[in-house]
Amino acid sequence: MALDPTARTSNIKDSLKKYFVDNIARAEGKKLTFDKAMSVPRIQGNVPADEWVSIGMEDLTLDTLSTQYLTVFCCTRKDPEYYRLAQLTDLVMGYLTDSTTTDGLKRIPLYRSYPDQAWTLLGAFLVTDTMISPEMEATDETKFRMITATLQWAAKV
């Protein structure tokens, strides 16, 4: 028996990747990686980036109210006093919150993805919780903050 589209991990991953690519990479022009923790993306000419966002899709619980946990690393290099890191963190948080709604919770579209036809909208992930770590610095002088986010949505399991 096939899984309902609201409970398919492929739809969940495709939808989240589309959201962050469309907004962080395309609209904002920021370098973006997935599931690589803080690995530095390389740009044309094999030059390491000085600013990037890495999205990690963590624990997933499928139930009538399903939950997906995200870890978002905001990373910078050559960043005196963590200035650009603060700006990057604020930018990402802007895509995880929504001050225009009465509850302040962001809705991220959940799609039924297809390899060769238009995707269909199934519903939305609700970003119910976010937490920002303190500013930290790795041994390679990458400055970073982690944003953990909890996403929930109705699913048929």
Question: How many Cα neighbours within 13 Å face the side chain of 11?
Answer: 22
- 75-112 pLDDT, tens digit per residue, is 999 999 999 999 999 999 999 999 999 998 999 999 99
pLDDT at 40 over 90: no
In this prediction, residue 78 carries a pLDDT of 92
At 88 the three-state DSSP class reads helix
Rg (CA), the chain: 16
In this prediction, residue 28 carries a pLDDT of 97
In this prediction, residue 46 carries a pLDDT of 57
β-strands 51-61, 65-76: how paired?
A: antiparallel
pLDDT band at residue 49 under the 50/70/90 scheme: confident
CATH 3.30.9.10 describes domain 5-154:
no
In this prediction, residue 134 carries a pLDDT of 98
